[in-house]
Amino acid sequence: MSVLRRVLLPPEFSVEHQRAVTQYLLRMDRLPSHLWPLVIEAFDLLQYAVIIRVDDRAYTFAQIYDELVDKRYATLFIRDLLNTEDVIRDSIPLWAYSARRISQEFTNMGLHDPIHRPKSRYLLAYCLYWWHSFCKGYAFEVEIFRDLQKTGLRFEAHDLQDPVARLSPYDLIISGFHCDIKTSTYFLQQIGRSRSVKNDCFITKVWLPDQRARILVVFLTGQMWNAIDGETLLTQLTELPEVLPQTARILHRGDELVVVDYDVWKKKMRKYQLDRGELP
């Protein structure tokens, strides 16, 4: 018998959101780009969904994820990730193994009961979505940290094995600049909401349709770019794929950002550190 009495979904969680979640489960990273905004919106809404157990205890989906996924698996995943030789290759089976365990545990605990409580599939979907995002994000971080070390740049990264340090608003400090590492440009929407750029730069990936490939770029504040270099080409965010790999300057919701190829940024940061005497 299921331990669930009811699953309460937010009233804003529409039929379209339900379909988007189903499509995500079926296709995940192969999801068409036009569906991602709706998928992101759907999982943002689901954090407020509530399960009510047969003992009348109520928990939000976000609380379930924190207690049964993040606290149980996050530090173990990162520890295993740091012990891998090839992050890109080995992170996927690590994620897949833990995702299967999470699914089985939810079923064994009665939290995933699609026959008697069909809406419970949204709880499992919510937890797997955020777990996949967590694993993908930290695999990318480790990949970048190792590459920066290989390049010989001096930087200080937050402690990935410390749950409190993982919540810091930036992932690394380089020459006094605070930098974050993002797997996509979704952070630009968050900048729009907060109406200010909180970090000096963001290392991320941009999709180039003509090349059918993602390339590494760095979004910097104009202040940081002026400190490490100079010339840019003024453009719009929507025209960025046509401008890259040239360095571009864009205005995004009142903030000026410079977008530069990741390898170019590394070269300029190395010269900046050499000029400041930070490197031997």
* DSSP sequence for 108-143: HTTS--TTT-TTHHHHHHHHHHHHHHHHHHHHHHHH
Report the pLDDT value the prediction gives residue 1, as an integer from 0 to 100.
47
Report the pLDDT value the prediction gives residue 208, as an integer from 0 to 100.
74
Mean pLDDT score, 185-195: 63
- For residue 97, give both structure tokens: 């193994």
Mean pLDDT score, 44-59: 94
Cβ-contact 218, 260 below 8 angstroms: yes
Residue that wins the pLDDT comparison between 199 and 198: 199
The answer to the question of residue 254 being in a domain is yes
Mean pLDDT score, 173-182: 96
Report the pLDDT value the prediction gives residue 184, as an integer from 0 to 100.
86
Count of the separate structural domains present in the chain = 2
The last residue of one of the domains, among 92, 116, 145, is 145
Mean pLDDT score, 97-115: 94
Report the pLDDT value the prediction gives residue 128, as an integer from 0 to 100.
96
Do residues 121 and 21 both lie within one domain?
yes
Report the predicted TM-score, pTM, of the whole model to 2 decimal places.
Answer: 0.88
Mean pLDDT score, 77-90: 95
Mean pLDDT score, 42-65: 95
Report the pLDDT value the prediction gives residue 252, as an integer from 0 to 100.
67
Cα pseudo-dihedral 271, 246, 235, 141, rounded to 10: -60
Report the pLDDT value the prediction gives residue 98, as an integer from 0 to 100.
96
**pLDDT above 90 as % of the chain:** 64
Do residues 74 and 180 both lie within one domain?
no
* Region of poorest pLDDT, from 57-61, 185-189, 263-267: 185-189
Cβ-contact 141, 161 below 8 angstroms: no
Do residues 37 and 69 both lie within one domain?
yes
Q: For 130, phi and psi rounded to 5 degrees?
A: -70, -30
Do residues 216 and 87 both lie within one domain?
no
Tally the C-alpha atoms within 13 A of residue 108's C-alpha that lie toward its C-beta.
7
For 55, the domain range is 4-145
> Residues 67-79: pLDDT tens digits?
999 999 999 999 9
Asked if pLDDT for residue 53 goes beyond 50, the answer is yes
The last residue of one of the domains, among 115, 145, 175, is 145
> Residues 121-159: pLDDT tens digits?
999 999 999 999 999 999 999 999 999 999 999 999 999
Report the pLDDT value the prediction gives residue 234, as an integer from 0 to 100.
52
CA 145/CA 79 separation, integer angstroms:
15
Provide the mean pLDDT of the chain.
Answer: 88
- For residue 219, give both structure tokens: 């979004």
Mean pLDDT score, 192-218: 77
The last residue of one of the domains, among 110, 145, 180, is 145
Report the first-to-last Cα separation within the chain, whole angstroms: 66
- The DSSP output letter for 3 is S
